[in-house]
Structure 1
Amino acid sequence: MDIKKIGYTTGVFDMFHVGHLNLIKRAKEQCDYLIVGVTTDELVSYKNKKAIIPHKERMEIVENIKYVDQVVPQVNMNKMEAWKKYNFDVMFVGSDWKGTEKWNEYEKQFASIGVDIIYFPYTKGTSSTQLRETLEKIKNIEIAATK
Structure 2
Amino acid sequence: MKKYKIGYTTGVYDMFHIGHLNILKNAKSQCDYLIVGVTTDELVSYKNKQAIIPHDERMAIVEAIRYVDKVVAQEDMDKMAAWEAHKFDVMFVGSDWQGTEKWNKFEKEFAEVGTDIVYFPYTKGTSSTKLRGVLEEILTGSNK
CA distance in 2, matches of 1:101, 1:123: 22
Match of 1:96 in 2: 96
Letter in 1 for 2:41: D
Q: CA deviation at 1:13?
A: 0.1
| Higher Cα Rg, which structure | 1
| Runs of 4+, deviation exceeding 3 Å | none
Match of 1:122 in 2: 122
Letter in 2 for 1:7: G
Q: Give unmatched runs, 5+ long, in structure 2.
A: none
Equivalent residue pairs, number: 141
CA distance in 2, matches of 1:140, 1:120: 35
Q: CA deviation at 1:106?
A: 0.3
Q: CA deviation at 1:135?
A: 1.0
SS at match of 2:31: coil
RMSD: 1.3
Q: CA deviation at 1:123?
A: 1.2
CA distance in 1, matches of 2:124, 2:103: 22
**What TM-score, normalized to structure 2?**
0.94
CA distance in 2, matches of 1:72, 1:141: 37
SS at match of 1:73: strand
Q: Give unmatched runs, 5+ long, in structure 1.
A: none
Cα distance per residue 1:28-71 (max 9 Å; x no partner): 00000000000000000000010000000000000000000000
Percentage of matched positions with identical amino acids:
72
**What TM-score, normalized to structure 1?**
0.92
